[in-house]
A and B are shown apart, each in its own frame.
Chain A
Amino acid sequence: MNHFFTNIIDGSKKEKLEKTLFSFVVLVLFKFLFPLVDNSILVILNDFLIYSTLGLTFIFLNEITSSNTENPIPLILNVGILSAILFFITSLSSVIFDKIENIEEVNGIIYTIVSLVISVTFIAFAIYILSALKTLYFLRQKQVTENHFLRMLFVILLASFAGTLSKLNPDLAFVEKTFFIVSIVLVLLNSFRVSWIAFLSKRQKVFLLLISIIMSGLFGLNFAMFSETNIIEQIVFYFSPGVRVFYILIMLYGTIYFGIVFFTTLFHLPTAGAFDQKREEITSLIDLSKLMTQVLDFKELADGLTEATNNVCNSDSAWIVIENDDEHELISVSNIGYLEAEGVSNNLLKELELPLTDVLTLNKKVLKVKFQNDERTYVFQSIIIAPLKVHDRINGYLFATKRQKYKFDKDEIKAIGAFADYAALAIENAKLIKESIEKERMENELEVARNIQSKLLPDENPTSDKLEVDALFVPAFEVGGDYYDYFKIDDDKLAFVIADVSGKGVSASYIMAEVKGIFESLSQVILNPKELLIKTNDILGKSLDKKSFVTALYGVIDKKNGIINFARAGHMPLLICSGGKLKEYLSKGIGLGLDFTDRFNSNIENMEIKLNNDDILILYTDGVTESQNNENVDFGLERLKNVVEDNCSGELSDITKNIFKEVSLFSKEKQQHDDLTLVLFKWKN
């Protein structure tokens, strides 16, 4: 049995329609075959077919009426139109036609068709109305089961069937009356589920008020008209007495229900405005929560907050001010001009004892604000200043103002405080994310720079029997731009360079790469250091930017003759420790990239020095001499000279190590901010 019912109730709209039409066709055939329903069996069969069609139609129509649960007004309008049509048909027919005499004996084809059309129309409309009433019954109900409604439907059906029975057996009239009364009671009880009215907008409520009283009236009239005899009533009665009872009950249901709707709406009207407002506030809050997750675009979030403040807290204007060091920056305004907001907040913030730790409410405040060209007076009914607080630190303030009659109430003040907290968190997040992105970007950049730099430097030192070579390279964290290299010209000649590119990071290492390329190529073709550096300067002139420059010291050591020939382009002087005494060799020369005219060429010179046995040559960059200790004192050339002289006679690698040791001890924990490079040669005759 259950299976049978679920088979009918479930199923698609199309299937339901099919079943309904099928049942209807069977009913029509029956009516044509047996136009006169004169014995009990036919009566019962008649009713059975009618009720099954009724039932199927109801199930089908219910799907249609329940399709739009957001706005019940169109549905109610449909019901109203149908009830109006029923009214007009009934009233007009009873005016135009007289009632039929001896209707039991009328049985022409025309009559069958007409009675079918009218009865079906009236029943179909009644079913639709019932279906709509069911939809309204369940509208916006969260917890209701179908039981109450089904019980009422069942009793209505019983009353209908009893109506047919009482025609067969007049003694059973009281059964019909009993069920009828019970139906009315149940209808009454069920008609109080009208809470969906609360959720309509104010406009919809006003409309409903007008419509419901009209509809209640129409249903009432329809009910009254069927309680007396007229042509339509007759036709329906002879179609099926039960159906007439059914129709009457539905009309009564409509009268009662829409009457109750009318009074409920009437009582809801005064609070309708407030309800609408609360709903808008909730919508604003929901929108705002969605916006909260958007941390990256802080400006959009700030705008959302100021707008929400106006919507939810009923302020006239709202804006947010952020504190950057000691300056106040306006980052979002809603419903107020930028300059006005700035003026007002500057005035207020100056007046008040900052920082504010709690939400401050100022009532009936008058402010005179000076603008560039004039001074304006503002009168505020109420101003709220809410601090944006994160971890006890105030990052800024949320301002909300009211100019009209009422002050902010407790709920509104609380909401503003909540928004201020949101804003504070959001600012903090946005700042942290920005810092984090920046940090990562910089680390990535440095990683790249370090990689480039390490690839540019030599893998090993070209020590040979006459010339020992040692080098030390300690890069700074931020990649400082130091570079050194060796170029074998032939078996007897070794060229070398030590250089320092200005700036740090990737840009410095990029220039370094170019410089290396230039030296690599030129060292093979130009043996004269001065000429080489001049040519290098020319080439760099094509690509170096205005702010960059390179210091370099380039030289060639002739191992056959023990002579070093070098030129210095703005770099630290060459140091030679000979016989325990250190000498500085500062040849003329300006840095590469500083000047691309003849001035560079005419201001650089070669220097040639004859080397003696055990001479130590020291090349260094300013990272060595500019290493600072905690008192910001430089290591300096003097200390460097001393260290070298002290260690001159030892192993070359020891000299390098000791220089580094001294520098490290000197600068201790102070972070090395520049690359540290040392290249040492020891000459053996």
Chain B
Amino acid sequence: MADFNVSSREDGEISVVKVEGYLDAHTAPDLENEFNKMIERKRYKIVVNFSELNYISSAGLGVFMAYVETMREENGDIKFSNLKDDVFSIFDLLGFPVLYEFYKDEEEAIKKFR
């Protein structure tokens, strides 16, 4: 079983979540906890930085799908940034870029919120 780590920092109204390692069915609950914490603290503007993420499974994708709607309902969003090429192609094939916003880096994503 591979490792996964999620951490976050605040940039004003926006929370920047960093995901690292392998996001699959075993590690997805960690990410869910993080999103739950954000909702509890009414932080709905989220940028997820994928620079250290090596792998995402359908379970991992499911987590994002589950929470984006909630964030958008509260005038927030989940924006994706810094994806590695192979990870991006997984999202791309599925058509995620049509539904969600992907950026080359964090700054761009943060700017979009303001």
Contacts and interface: CB of A to CB of B under 8 A. Distances in A.
A551 B98 CA distance: 15
Interface in A478-511: 481, 500, 502-504
A631 to B, nearest CB: 12
A599 B62 contact: no
Interface in B90-114: 93-96, 98-99
Contacts of A500: 58
Given A546-B69, A599-B99, A634-B86, A590 B62 contact: no
Contacts of B99: 590, 594-595, 599
A503 B94 contact: no
B61 A549 contact: yes
B91 to A, nearest CB: 10
A603 B98 contact: yes
B95 A503 contact: no
Given A546-B69, A547-B66, A599-B99, A590 B94 contact: yes
B59 A590 contact: no
Considering residues B54, B58, B66, which has the most beta carbons from chain A within 10 angstroms of its beta carbon?
A: B58
A502 B95 contact: no
A548 interface: yes
B94 A594 contact: yes
Contacts of B61: 502, 549
> Interface range on chain A: under 10, 10 to 19, 20 to 34, or 35 or more?
20 to 34
Contact of B95 (A481, A546, A573, A591): A591
A590 B65 CA distance: 13
B59 A572 contact: no
B93 A571 contact: yes
A549 B94 contact: yes
A546 B94 contact: no
A481 B62 CA distance: 14
A545 to B, nearest CB: 8
Nearest to B63: A547
Considering residues B25, B54, B69, which has the most beta carbons from chain A within 10 angstroms of its beta carbon?
A: B25
Given A546-B65, A546-B69, A594-B65, A570 B95 contact: yes
A466 B56 CA distance: 41
A555 interface: no
A138 to B, nearest CB: 69
Nearest to A597: B99
A175 to B, nearest CB: 99
> Interface range on chain B: under 10, 10 to 19, 20 to 34, or 35 or more?
10 to 19
A589 interface: yes
Considering residues B54, B63, B93, B95, which has the most beta carbons from chain A within 10 angstroms of its beta carbon?
A: B95
A547 B86 contact: no
Considering residues B59, B86, B94, B96, which has the most beta carbons from chain A within 10 angstroms of its beta carbon?
A: B94
Nearest to B99: A595
Nearest to A570: B94
B78 to A, nearest CB: 13
B13 to A, nearest CB: 25
Contacts of B65: 546-547, 549, 594
Interface in A620-665: 632, 634
A551 B25 CA distance: 18
A487 to B, nearest CB: 24
Contact of B66 (A503, A546, A572, A603): A546
A401 to B, nearest CB: 37
B95 A589 contact: yes
A632 B95 CA distance: 25
A603 B95 contact: yes
A599 B93 CA distance: 16
A445 to B, nearest CB: 14
Nearest to A481: B58
A639 to B, nearest CB: 14
Contact of A548 (B25, B62, B86, B96): B62
Interface in B52-94: 54, 58-59, 61-63, 65-66, 69, 86, 93-94
A590 B96 contact: yes
B62 A572 contact: no
Nearest to A480: B58
Contacts of A570: 93-95
B66 A594 contact: no
Interface in B1-39: 25
B59 A502 contact: yes
A672 to B, nearest CB: 14
Interface string A581-615: 00000001111001100010001000000000000
B80 to A, nearest CB: 14
B70 to A, nearest CB: 9
Contact of B62 (A547, A588, A595, A603): A547
A502 B96 contact: no
Given A503-B25, A634-B86, A549 B96 contact: no
Contacts of B25: 503-504
Contacts of B94: 549, 551, 570, 590-591, 594
B60 to A, nearest CB: 10
A14 to B, nearest CB: 74
A502 B65 CA distance: 12
Contacts of B59: 502-504, 547
B2 to A, nearest CB: 8
Nearest to B70: A546
Given A503-B58, A551-B94, 17 more contacts: A500-B58, A502-B58, A502-B59, A503-B25, A503-B62, A546-B66, A547-B62, A547-B66, A549-B61, A549-B62, A572-B93, A588-B95, A591-B95, A594-B94, A594-B99, A599-B99, A603-B95
14 contacts: A502-B59, A502-B61, A503-B25, A503-B62, A504-B59, A546-B66, A548-B62, A570-B94, A590-B96, A590-B98, A594-B94, A594-B99, A599-B99, A603-B95
Interface of B: 25, 54, 58-59, 61-63, 65-66, 69, 86, 93-96, 98-99
Q: Ordered nearest first, which 3 A-B pairs have the shortest CB separation?
A: A590-B95, A547-B62, A502-B58
Interface of A: 481, 500, 502-504, 546-549, 551, 569-573, 588-591, 594-595, 599, 603, 632, 634
